[in-house]
Amino acid sequence: MAEPSVSKWPSLLAVMRHAESLATERRKHLEESRSQEIHLGLPMRDVDVPLTPEGREHARLTGRRLGEFGPFDVLYASPYRRTVETAEQVLGELRHRPLLVKEERLREKEWGVLEGLTKQGIRARYPDEEARRRHVGKYYYRPPGGESYADVNLRVHSFIGTLVREHPGQRVLLITHQVVVLAFRKLLERMEEDTVLALDRQDEARPASLLIYELGRRDGRNESLVPTHWNLILYDREPSASESKTH
């Protein structure tokens, strides 16, 4: 009798954006107040930005309700402080605590000389870069010392190879950043550049939201990871306006 085939993919992949950080809160405040500040004004490197108290609570509540998708076999997190703090809060609420692995390929997009600047700050300090970005386009623009969206895709593509090799049939949780979440959608769902940028502009991953993939068949083809939820919020029992099932 032939042995049953084993899928190369995880049985479930949950990709979570970190909860609200000081930078997220600060940037939102500056945008809503239409401030002309050129810098976020935080006294630490981007890698060291922590969660806000509300962000820690949202991460904790998300961990409490993640059980409906678990238990998870492994948790990979970006090594940035805000993602590690999110992971710690989530782990504290899980009945079955998976191994936590800090993974460099899940780190934030490198912004180079633009790190910490507002839109006004980029225009004021680096007008030539602002013009070059408009010419090259947001997707392929690489700031000095930084990365483009396409660069982030390359390391996420490498990490997907790790998932295939090391976690077939397992349930995997990732905690990462907005641009990295988009990279997973780009690669796993074979999105075009324009579609990715439209998502980034109109429906970006909210802090502490989840992107869920489950093993299935897309269009009747070979087994693959099929998206089932986008911008899923678990810390709030009330339905979220931007939460949706993907089809």
pLDDT tens figures, 110-121: 999 999 999 889
**pLDDT score at 243:** 45
**pLDDT score at 70:** 77
**pLDDT score at 206:** 96
User: What is the helix, strand, coil percentage profile of the chain, to 5?
Assistant: 40, 20, 40
Q: How far is CA 188 from CA 101, 122, 137, 184, in A?
A: 22, 32, 23, 6
Q: How far, in Å, CA of 210 to CA of 43, rounded?
A: 29
**What's the whole-model pTM score?**
0.91
Phi, psi angles (nearest 5°) of residue 114? -90, 0
pLDDT(200) > 50: yes
Confidence of residue 36 (pLDDT cuts 50, 70, 90): confident
Q: How far, in Å, CA of 39 to CA of 116, rounded?
A: 6
Q: How far, in Å, CA of 218 to CA of 122, rounded?
A: 42
Give percent of the chain above pLDDT 70. 91
SS3 state of residue 19: coil
Q: Which fold has domain 12-30+49-110+146-245?
A: Rossmann fold (3.40.50)
**pLDDT score at 222:** 74
pLDDT averaged over every residue in the chain: 91
| Greatest mean pLDDT among 11-25, 30-44, 233-247 | 11-25
> Amino acid identity, residue 80?
Y
- Stretch 41-53: mean pLDDT, rounded? 95
On whether the CB atoms of residues 172 and 72 are closer than 8 A, the answer is: yes
Query: Listing from the earlier edge strand, what are the strands of the sheet with 74-77?
Result: 99-102, 74-77, 171-176, 12-17, 210-217, 223-232, 244-245
- Stretch 66-75: mean pLDDT, rounded? 92
pLDDT digits (tens, 9 = 90+) for 98-146: 999 999 999 999 999 999 999 889 999 999 999 999 999 999 999 999 9
In angstroms, how far is CA 191 from the centroid of its own chain? 16
pLDDT(205) > 60: yes
On whether the CB atoms of residues 173 and 66 are closer than 8 A, the answer is: yes
Phi, psi angles (nearest 5°) of residue 213? -120, 140
On whether the CB atoms of residues 83 and 18 are closer than 8 A, the answer is: yes
**pLDDT score at 221:** 67
42 Ramachandran zone, left/alpha/beta (phi>0; psi -120 to 50): beta
